[in-house]
Structure 1
Amino acid sequence: MDTHFLDSLLNALPQPSLLIDASARISAANSAAQALFGHKVVGHHYTLALRQPGPLAAIEAALAEARETQAQHIHTGPSRETVYRMLVRPVAGDGRRAVLASFEDVSEAQQIGQFRRDFVANVSHELRTPLTSLLGFIETLRGPAKDDAQARERFLTVMAQEAERMNRLVRDLLHLSRVEAEERVRPTTQVDLASLLASVVRTLRPMADAAGATIVQHGEPGPALLPADADQLTQVFQNLIENAVKYGAAKGTVTVTLRQVSRDVGLRTEALAVDVRDEGEGIPAEHIPRLSERFYRVDSHRSRAEGGTGLGLAIVKHIVQRHRGRLVIASAPGKGSTFTVVLPTH
């Protein structure tokens, strides 16, 4: 076969591809494969390009038995590790035989699979603890505490708390699933953000009073219009303000500020920004990038004690993304925290 035609044919393939002849040498490689294995790979024995046992065994079997094989090839680059699914197929013609090895990047699929496994493991862990407590209390109430009225009342109170904890977790999982399902559909209804914030602050003021905290609202008196899902934004600011009250300093002040931004640097358009600031202990810098991950907690014991599920900020992040906005977190130990939601006005 004409060498120029063969090179053109291989370069038409979107995936890195190597043609390995019966003498076990690489007779052709497209530009994607040369970028992956080096520009001088053609003409060399395939073992010089592929040194991992799995790919070597797959090519050896395909050459010897003229059958399709596959293996996983891991390429370590300067910035990240890439996982490839290598397919080796026999080819023949004009009295010649060879195998074509193609490499499909499956890194993202593997990451998604790992993400799902981690998610299931996290949910299982979060449910296992209250379930274990409930089963233990039920066993005790059926046995040693069967006729102990005081113990029964105490255990039933704890059981109700654990059941409510599971209920919150299931509720937040459903919220997260719903938000993710709608994430690609941008809201179009005009909402007055100033009025919405005032309503959220009014709703949460009794909770803040009970905790000894004060919520202070500043900024635009209204109207401050933008396309939004009012229910979802209510959920965002309820979550952020509740967190500020729970994790802020005792008897501290939570400041909610609405401001206009003529041109946001990140969104590159006119926007409305809401800052929720507390006077708490602050968050160490290494935790900030991971705060919106599902089930990530800076202080697991305190978060669970406050009734947190570890999903609140993940829900906030996805709602903000649905609105084409961004969430910015600024904090330092001893200096409190500010959570800023920036939303485009059109």
Structure 2
Amino acid sequence: MSDRDRIVEDEAQEAAKRGAMARLVEARPFFLTMAALLLFLVLIDQASAVAAGLVLAATIGFFALFLRGPDELPVRLSSRPPPSIWPETGIKRMADALPDPCVILDRRGVVRYANSRAEATFPIRPGDPLTFRLRNPDFVGAFDRVAAGGAAEKVQFLERGATERWYLAWFSALEPAGGASDRSGFIILIFSDLTEQRVSEKIRVDFVANASHELRTPLASLSGFIETMQGPAKDDAVARQRFLGIMHDQATRMSRLIDDLLSLSRIEMKAHMRPEAPVDLTGVIRGVVDALEPLARDLGVTIETELPETPLVVPGDRDELVQVFQNLIENGCKYGKLGQRVQVTATPPPGGRGGPVVTVRDFGAGIPAEHLPRLTERFYRADIQASHAQRGTGLGLAIVKHILNRHRARLLIESRPGEGSSFTVAFNVAFSGASLPAEGKSRDVSYI
């Protein structure tokens, strides 16, 4: 038997007991009449006086416990009806007025009411035990202590799902009307979302760690060149000019690095918020290709596109999707320039299910298989010399991964040395978790 069925059966048994007790009290006049009739029979038949007296004494003794006067009846039967298992309208209105998710529970942990914010955050229904939805041990322990008569408690817990969310749960008892202490009141549970606060703390720590590590080298270079120009090379015009060019490159690298770190921090800050604005991928890709044409021309690369005539619309953030395809196409031009062309294709959902699929393919040197699983890590470079030559920061694919995670899209990287690389982005319009078709099994593949 499930917990919910057991709770329903317990409530039915309690209701049956209360009904039986009420019927006994209502039947008191009948029992008094029977006792009087028995006494009359005893007076007529003296022979059975002793037996009748014993029967009468037993009858009176048995019903003495149940036939007390109105003032002596148990409080639950005389002064007020049994406490309701559902909260009053005032309590419900109070819960609805709160800006945070609020749940009203009975002492056994059964949900008796949930405001609209709670229903949207935690899919729960009145009548369900709270543990059907939330099973964190600290969370359950705090409720048990408050339900047993303890003081109000608060507890932080992590709710795992598509994205991790942190909450602060407040438990407090609502005593029944009249100040009764029979523990028949409700427990109020209020949630506060701490996710943004936690993410901000993590981003701050990561930003300081990454910035201090990655900025150390260019800062040391700048400091060394400045000291040289102030000392031995202060009168050397040729060396000064060369050093100034190197210093400019290092300063530009630091600027790009800081911009990428800030961009990554902003994306992580919004990781738990799903973008819903309609965005046409074909328009985004055309705009990115037009913007990168001068770069491609300088590198001797041609950007080829195969886009449908009809729009490919997905829920998303246009600026972030521009950043995704700009990073992918720019990487194709820089690191695959030996192939002299980059191919960008976009297709509707395969089989009419899921979302559009966009592939950016270059025909360059390719990427060794051992590097594929780590390409989206921060500051990871498959070829450090090539990355420095192209002035890369090592954050481009990390930014792509975080943006696609926020859009519930997947990134598939395929490559074989000497044949180039392809980066495929698969969207899901309905957010139903559709997967990519199984392709390219003969190649080295990394799912991100």
TM-score range, shorter chain: 0.5 to 0.7
List aligned pairs for 1:30-179, cutoff 5 A. Answer: 122-179=210-267
Give the secondary structure class of the aligned counterpart of 1:168: helix
Over 4 Å off, 4+ runs: 12-15, 113-122
Give the secondary structure class of the aligned counterpart of 1:341: strand
Residue 119 of structure 1: how far off its partner (Å): 7.5
Assess if the C-alpha contact under 8 Å between 1:212 and 1:251 holds in 2. no
Q: Measured at CA, do residues 324 and 331 of structure 1 come closer, stay the same or move farther in structure 2, by a change above 3 Å?
A: same
Assess if the C-alpha contact under 8 Å between 2:299 and 2:337 holds in 1. no
Deviations 1:270-321 (A, max 9, x none): 2111100001111111111111011111111221221111111000000001
Whole-angstrom distance in 2 between the partners of 1:118 and 1:319: 18
Residue 121 of structure 1: how far off its partner (Å): 5.3
Q: Measured at CA, do residues 204 and 275 of structure 1 come closer, stay the same or move farther in structure 2, by a change above 3 Å?
A: same
Whole-angstrom distance in 2 between the partners of 1:336 and 1:114: 36
Assess if the C-alpha contact under 8 Å between 2:367 and 2:421 holds in 1. yes
Whole-angstrom distance in 2 between the partners of 1:214 and 1:343: 26
Assess if the C-alpha contact under 8 Å between 1:211 and 1:251 holds in 2. no
Where structure 1 has 5 or more consecutive residues not aligned to the other structure, the ranges are 1-11, 16-112
Aligned with residue 291 of structure 2, among 195, 198, 203: 203
Higher share in strand = 1
Give the secondary structure class of the aligned counterpart of 1:344: coil
Q: Measured at CA, do residues 224 and 233 of structure 1 come closer, stay the same or move farther in structure 2, by a change above 3 Å?
A: same
Assess if the C-alpha contact under 8 Å between 1:330 and 1:339 holds in 2. yes
Residue 227 of structure 1: how far off its partner (Å): 1.0
List aligned pairs for 1:179-198, cutoff 5 A. Answer: 179-198=267-286
Are residue 274 (structure 1) and residue 358 (structure 2) matched? yes
Aligned with residue 288 of structure 1, among 343, 353, 372: 372
Partner residue, 1:312: 396
Whole-angstrom distance in 2 between the partners of 1:168 and 1:201: 21
Give the secondary structure class of the aligned counterpart of 1:294: coil
Whole-angstrom distance in 2 between the partners of 1:119 and 1:282: 31
Partner residue, 2:350: 262
Q: Measured at CA, do residues 173 and 13 of structure 1 come closer, stay the same or move farther in structure 2, by a change above 3 Å?
A: closer
Assess if the C-alpha contact under 8 Å between 2:329 and 2:360 holds in 1. yes
Assess if the C-alpha contact under 8 Å between 1:263 and 1:271 holds in 2. no
Partner residue, 1:332: 416
Residue 216 of structure 1: how far off its partner (Å): 0.3
Q: Measured at CA, do residues 174 and 335 of structure 1 come closer, stay the same or move farther in structure 2, by a change above 3 Å?
A: same
Give the CA RMSD over aligned residues. Answer: 2.4
Partner residue, 2:405: 321
List aligned pairs for 1:233-272, cutoff 5 A. Answer: 233-250=321-338, 252-262=340-350, 269-272=353-356
Deviations 1:96-131 (A, max 9, x none): xxxxxxxxxxxxxxxxx9999887655433211111
Residue 249 of structure 1: how far off its partner (Å): 3.6
Counterpart of 2:378, as a letter, is R
Residue 155 of structure 1: how far off its partner (Å): 0.9
Assess if the C-alpha contact under 8 Å between 2:288 and 2:325 holds in 1. yes
Where structure 2 has 5 or more consecutive residues not aligned to the other structure, the ranges are 1-134, 139-200, 431-448
Give the secondary structure class of the aligned counterpart of 2:426: strand
Larger-gyration structure (1/2): 2
In the superposition, the TM-score normalised over structure 1's length comes to 0.63
Counterpart of 2:405, as a letter, is Q
Give the secondary structure class of the aligned counterpart of 2:355: strand
Whole-angstrom distance in 1 between the partners of 2:254 and 2:203: 22
Whole-angstrom distance in 1 between the partners of 2:423 and 2:363: 12
Aligned with residue 309 of structure 2, among 221, 246, 250: 221
In the superposition, the TM-score normalised over structure 2's length comes to 0.49
Whole-angstrom distance in 2 between the partners of 1:160 and 1:325: 38
Whole-angstrom distance in 2 between the partners of 1:155 and 1:215: 36
Give the secondary structure class of the aligned counterpart of 2:354: strand
Residue 183 of structure 1: how far off its partner (Å): 1.2
Whole-angstrom distance in 2 between the partners of 1:263 and 1:130: 50
Assess if the C-alpha contact under 8 Å between 1:255 and 1:277 holds in 2. yes
Assess if the C-alpha contact under 8 Å between 1:191 and 1:229 holds in 2. yes
Assess if the C-alpha contact under 8 Å between 2:203 and 2:268 holds in 1. no
Whole-angstrom distance in 1 between the partners of 2:326 and 2:364: 18
Assess if the C-alpha contact under 8 Å between 2:207 and 2:261 holds in 1. no
Deviations 1:231-287 (A, max 9, x none): 0000000000110011104261100001112359xxxx5211110000111111111
Deviates further, 215-224 or 255-264: 255-264
Counterpart of 1:210, as a letter, is D
Give the secondary structure class of the aligned counterpart of 1:258: strand
Give the secondary structure class of the aligned counterpart of 2:350: strand
Which structure exhibits the higher relative contact order, with contacts defined as CA atoms closer than 8 Å and separated by 6 or more residues? 1
Q: Measured at CA, do residues 271 and 114 of structure 1 come closer, stay the same or move farther in structure 2, by a change above 3 Å?
A: closer
Number of positions where the alignment pairs a residue of Structure 1 with one of Structure 2? 234
Whole-angstrom distance in 2 between the partners of 1:208 and 1:176: 25
Partner residue, 1:54: none
